[in-house]
Amino acid sequence: MKALILAAALALVAANAQAASCKAEAGSKKLAGAAMNSFMTKCENDAKAACAKSSADRKLAGAAKDSHMKKCVSDAVGS
């Protein structure tokens, strides 16, 4: 069980480190206007999907899932 939790945590860290943050990536690409809005929307949707998978892998439900999703998406987007 501990190995499963550790693997899920490492996968989450790797996913977040790989994407850094949407805002940082948009800044490095020098996006503005509609291109930035489109990029941020896609990036946020991708982050939500990755975080939902992480929540499911960790078998979270209720308030724990909500809290995890909020922090995970916030970290990924860079809010």
- Residue 9 CB: number of other CB atoms within 10 A? 13
Q: Which residue has the higher pLDDT, 79 or 67?
A: 67
Q: What pLDDT, on a 0 to 100 scale, did the predictor assign at position 12?
A: 55
Q: What are the pLDDT digits (tens) for 22-41?
A: 999 988 999 999 999 999 99
Who contacts 20 (Cβ-Cβ below 8 Å, separation ≥6)? Answer: 78
Q: Which of 21, 78, 11 is nearest to 50 (CA)?
A: 11
For the chain, what are the domain ranges? 2-77
Dihedral pair phi/psi, residue 5, rounded to 5°: -65, -40
Segments in 1-79 forming alpha helices (H):
2-19, 22-28, 33-57, 62-77
Distance of alpha carbon 68 from alpha carbon 16, whole angstroms: 13
